[in-house]
Structure 1
Amino acid sequence: MACVLIVKTGDAFPEVVDQHGDFETLFEKQLSTALPAHLDLQVWDATRHPSPPDLNTLAGIVITGSHSMVSEAEPWSEALKPWLQEALANDMPMLGVCYGHQLMAAAFGGVSDYHPAGRESGTRTVRLTQAGQQDPLFSQLPESFAAHLTHAQSVMQAPQGCTVLAHNSHDAHQALRYGPRQWSVQFHPSLRRQ
């Protein structure tokens, strides 16, 4: 059975874990009811187990948020970059969220670093670009929508050839598409109002 792999890139704060679960749990809750029966959902903790799974066993990849910073180039994070590049070259469906967004952008030739305007936190308005309004995934969203955000780093320079799908007043790269089935978002679609 093929699986959708959740790549865990860090641990949520203990009080968040107590109330809502860890980063991967938030994705498991959302994806478990949406996946077709022939797909399995698995978690790989990239921070503790450095050997990535064989891409041939995967149907898709979701990369979580983290309290780590992409620009600090931790060895486990740097080791993910060639694996993600191979996944992109093989047209593997991918979704990167927050840290995953910044990591994908950096892996594919962009720059992720501290935002000069500081941290963005809270529920903020995000707007689709014209390309976002025509994107097969993002066109299902309204042109302007509320999103949950908390991040100190951002994609400061998007990779050459990628498409900017969404932005807001703080961040020019709230959502990017790198290929036909590879997206990343700065905001947290796994967080929903209770």
Structure 2
Amino acid sequence: MSLRICILETDILRPELVDQYQGYGRMFERLFAQQPLPASFEVFNVVRGDYPADEERYDAYLVTGSKADSFGSDPWIQTLKTYLLQRYENGDKLLGICFGHQLLALLLGGRAERASQGWGVGIHRYQMKQRPQWMSPALDELDLLISHQDQVTALPDKATLLASSEFCPVAAYCIDDQVLCFQGHPEFVHDYTRAILDIRQTCIGEPTYRKAVASLEQSHQGAAVAEWMMRFVAQGKNAQSA
């Protein structure tokens, strides 16, 4: 049975990148097409105020990355927080990436803030702390493309830490079989990451920029994370229908 996923897109790409990459929702659709579990997707740009109709139901709701701060006061962020809290209290499954990872941690009792470590960019390696059954393929370490200056600094009480590094201690977590979040960007590709690095070169500083560009010689494991997310959603669905 095909999974039905709602993608809540929390950014609008820079004009010079739209023609090639469209948006984060489209990037996720391309990513999920590579993994073995069938799924269909609908994308809603919440920055523009787009949300599913009240009667629509999905197997999971995915919150994308954003250039905005998860702890920001923008009206669209407050609207999104209200919507996600309703979904959580309704028992819906929630997936978060970067901004979404931070926003869900904040919403559910954790903390997210500007990181004292500075910008995280390029390809970063994390150590896996837990390997639940749905985490197939199993990995001891995870390489992901990243682009963030904020981090989760305290997990919600019920959360389980899944991945960590010295630079980013809270890199992935889950809450029971309902919430799964990653700081890294499984949907990013090398060319998009390089374009963002070039745009932010002055902002992030030359040494960090050069190190990040050099890291792009490596591969990353975004496809594995996509499979984990879909298996996480499917496991809960299978349990409900059993």
Category of TM-score, reference length = shorter chain: 0.7 to 0.9
Answer yes or no: is 1:86 the counterpart of 2:86: yes
How many angstroms apart in 1 are the aligned matches of 2:76 and 2:67? 14
What corresponds to 1:184 in structure 2?
181
Q: Is the 8 A contact 2:45 2:51 kept in 1?
A: no
- TM-score of the two chains, using structure 2 as the length reference: 0.70
Q: Is the 8 A contact 2:7 2:61 kept in 1?
A: yes
Q: Which has the larger radius of gyration?
A: 2
Answer yes or no: is 1:136 the counterpart of 2:133: yes
Deviation of 1:31 after TM superposition, in Å, equals: 2.7
Q: Is the 8 A contact 2:115 2:149 kept in 1?
A: yes
How many angstroms apart in 2 are the aligned matches of 1:143 and 1:51? 37
Deviation of 1:50 after TM superposition, in Å, equals: 5.9
Between structures 1 and 2, the one with greater strand share:
1
- The one-letter code sitting in structure 2 at the alignment partner of 1:63 is V
What corresponds to 2:22 in structure 1?
21
Structure 1 stretches of 5 or more lacking a match?
Answer: none
What corresponds to 1:161 in structure 2?
158
Between structures 1 and 2, the one with greater helix share:
2
How many angstroms apart in 2 are the aligned matches of 1:28 and 1:158? 28
Residue by residue over 1:85-134, the C-alpha shift from the partner in whole angstroms, topping out at 9 and shown as x without a partner, is: 232233322211011101111111111110011110010111111xx22x
Deviation of 1:53 after TM superposition, in Å, equals: 4.1
Q: Of residues 141, 149, 152 in structure 1, which corresponds to 2:149? A: 152
Report matched runs for 1:1-194 at 5 Å.
3-32=4-33, 36=38, 40-49=40-49, 53-54=53-54, 57-129=57-129, 132-133=130-131, 135-138=132-135, 140-193=137-190
The structure-2 alpha-carbon separation of the partners of 1:146 and 1:86, relative to structure 1 and needing over 3 Å to count, comes to: same
How many angstroms apart in 2 are the aligned matches of 1:193 and 1:20? 12
Q: Is the 8 A contact 1:12 1:66 kept in 2?
A: no
Partner of 1:141, secondary structure, is: coil
Structure 2 stretches of 5 or more lacking a match?
Answer: 192-242
How many angstroms apart in 1 are the aligned matches of 2:34 and 2:126? 26
Deviation of 1:56 after TM superposition, in Å, equals: 5.3
Identical aligned residues as a percent: 25
The structure-2 alpha-carbon separation of the partners of 1:96 and 1:65, relative to structure 1 and needing over 3 Å to count, comes to: same
How many angstroms apart in 1 are the aligned matches of 2:55 and 2:21? 30
Deviation of 1:148 after TM superposition, in Å, equals: 0.6
Partner of 1:25, secondary structure, is: helix
- The one-letter code sitting in structure 1 at the alignment partner of 2:57 is T
